[in-house]
């Protein structure tokens, strides 16, 4: 574990990023997005607009002149050394990160995929966490997102009134997804908050969903350091990670979008605001739903195909699948 890493189990501090303003948003966008045409076309409808904006370089991904020490620490972590062995040895711990109770779902939280977002210190029965870039701001269109969340909540309600489930939509400081979507605005973070509050939450309410915007979620200070991404195929039953530093993707039953966002995690880690070309290893951990193993298989196959450009450059892309514990 690197010195800059904190997890919900040992830290609930809220940090703001220091503003060292080295690199511009334009450079971040270029490095984070170029190279995956499918990802670019589906996630960023107006690249020109996004890239034109470089005068509000949140220092969220502030330029760190030498990421080598952080990278070396990540590579030396037993999880990244041999992920299979680590997961085997810590099976009890990671299985406890899933809500397996038969309790009715009463809360759904939308959180960013960013690995710096602190997850729950304890697994809460009846809670689900959906992890999407910018808490949903990078979905192709608002209606699609709203319909996906409504369908998701309807399924989780199991015949109860939709209002019995509270949907909490969070933002966070210096959000890269906000920069991609609102890069031409003076304050992309605030634009994201306004969109979440006045568009996502408002439309969910018109559909009978008890939705609220909870403001900025707590997060870890510092640059992106993760060299792994966890993909939760259990409809948000994964609430935390046991001492694993990884991006987390958990969509409301939308496989193509989950694939796009898992790829985005890799693009960020190998971009100029993280490790750049120095990154030679990245691991995808796919947590399969025992009731729907085909979903994990589909996501893994797609990621293997769509990461070939990275492996062609010599990057070691690893895929590890584990079956999540079944819900009661």
What is the residue-level pLDDT of the chain in tens, covering all 328 positions? 433 333 333 333 333 333 333 344 444 444 444 333 333 333 433 333 333 333 233 333 444 458 999 999 999 999 999 999 999 999 999 999 999 999 999 999 999 999 999 887 899 999 999 999 999 999 889 999 999 999 999 999 999 999 999 999 999 998 889 988 999 999 999 999 999 999 999 999 999 999 999 999 999 988 899 999 999 999 999 999 999 999 999 999 899 999 999 999 999 999 987 999 999 999 999 999 999 999 999 999 999 999 999 999 999 999 999 999 999 9
Enumerate the domain spans of the chain.
25-323
Burial of 161 (0-12, 13-18, 19+ CB in 10 A): exposed
Q: Give the whole-angstrom CA distance, residue 225 versus residue 206.
A: 39
Kindly list the distances between the CA atom of residue 226 and the CA atoms of 92, 146, 198, 248, in Å, as whole numbers in the listed order: 23, 30, 32, 10
- Nearest by Cα to 224 from 175, 289, 284: 175
| Paired sense of beta strands 247-249 and 228-232, if any | parallel
Phi and psi at residue 137, in whole multiples of 5°?
-70, -15
- What does the pLDDT look like over 170-181, one tens digit per residue? 999 988 899 889
- What does the pLDDT look like over 61-115, one tens digit per residue? 444 458 999 999 999 999 999 999 999 999 999 999 999 999 999 999 999 999 9
Sorted by sequence, the CB contacts under 8 Å of residue 301 that are 6+ apart come out as none
């Amino acid at each position: 574990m690197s010195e800059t890493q904190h997890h919900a189990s040992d830290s609930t501090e809220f940090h703001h990023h220091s503003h060292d303003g080295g690199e511009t948003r334009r450079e971040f966008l270029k490095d984070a997005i170029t190279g995956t045409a499918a990802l670019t076309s589906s996630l960023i409808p107006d690249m020109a607009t996004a890239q034109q904006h470089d005068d509000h370089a949140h220092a969220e991904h502030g330029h760190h002149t030498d990421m080598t020490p952080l990278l070396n620490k990540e590579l030396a972590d037993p999880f990244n050394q041999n992920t299979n062995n680590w997961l085997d040895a810590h099976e009890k711990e990671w299985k406890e990160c899933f809500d397996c109770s038969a309790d009715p779902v009463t809360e759904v939280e939308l959180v960013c995929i960013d690995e710096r977002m602190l997850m729950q210190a304890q697994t809460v029965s009846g809670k689900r966490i959906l992890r999407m870039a910018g808490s949903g701001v990078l979905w192709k269109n608002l209606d699609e997102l709203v319909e996906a969340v409504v369908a998701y909540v309807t399924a989780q309600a199991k015949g109860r009134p939709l209002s019995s489930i509270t949907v909490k939509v969070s933002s966070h400081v210096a959000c890269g997804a906000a920069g991609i979507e609102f890069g031409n605005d003076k304050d992309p973070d605030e634009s994201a908050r306004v969109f979440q509050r006045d568009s996502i939450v408002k439309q969910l309410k018109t559909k009978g969903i008890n939705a609220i915007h909870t403001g900025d979620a707590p997060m870890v200070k510092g640059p992106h350091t993760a060299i792994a991404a966890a993909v939760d195929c259990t409809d948000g039953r994964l609430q935390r990670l046991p001492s694993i530093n990884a991006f987390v993707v958990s969509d409301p039953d939308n496989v193509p979008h989950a694939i796009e966002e898992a790829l985005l995690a890799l693009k960020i880690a190998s971009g100029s605001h993280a490790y750049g070309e120095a990154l030679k290893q990245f691991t995808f951990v796919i947590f399969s739903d025992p009731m729907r193993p085909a979903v994990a298989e589909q996501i893994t196959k797609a990621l293997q195909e769509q990461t070939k450009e990275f492996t062609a450059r010599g990057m070691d892309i690893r895929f590890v699948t584990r079956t999540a514990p079944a819900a009661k």
